Structure 1
Amino acid sequence: MAVTETANYTPLTEQTAVELAAQLDFFPKGAALSSREIGDGNLNYVFHITDETGKGLIIKQALPYAKVVGESWPLTLKRAKIEANALKKHGEYVPHLVPEVYATDEALAYTVMEDLSHLTVARAGLIAGETYPKLSDDIGEYLAQTLFHTSDFGLHPFDKKRLAAEFSNPELCKITEDLIFTDPFFNNETNDFEEALTADAEAIWNNKALQLEAAKLKQSFLTEAEALLHGDLHTGSIFASKDETKVIDPEFAFYGPIGFDVGLFLANLVFQSITRGEEGRDVITDHIRNTWDVFSSRFSELWEQENQSAFKDTTGYRETVLEKIFRDSVGFAGAELIRRTIGLAHVSDLDGIEDDEERIARKRQALRTGEAFILKRAELTSIDDVLSLIGALR
Structure 2
Amino acid sequence: MDPAEFDAASWDAQGELPAEVRRAVAGSGWFGTDLPAEYGGRGGTQAELGELCAEVGGACGSVRALITVQGMVAAAIHRWGTAAQRADWLPALVSGDQLAGFAATEPGAGTELSAVDTRVERSGSGFTVTGEKRWITFGRAATVFLVLGRLDGKPVTVLVGADRAGVSVEPVHGQLGLRAAMIAHVRFDGVRVPQRNLVAPPGFGLSHVVATALDHGRFTVAWGCAGMAAACVADAAGHTAQRRQGGVPLAEHQLVRSMLARMSVATTAARELCRSAANARDAREPGAVAATVMAKYAAARAAASASQDAVQLLGSAGCAPDSRAGRFFRDAKVMQIIEGSDQVAELHIAEHLLRQHRTGENGHAGEMPGLGSRRHAVAGSGAGG
TM-score of the two chains, using structure 2 as the length reference: 0.28
Kindly indicate whether structure 1 or structure 2 has the higher relative contact order, using CA contacts under 8 Å at least 6 residues apart. Answer: 2
TM-score of the two chains, using structure 1 as the length reference: 0.27
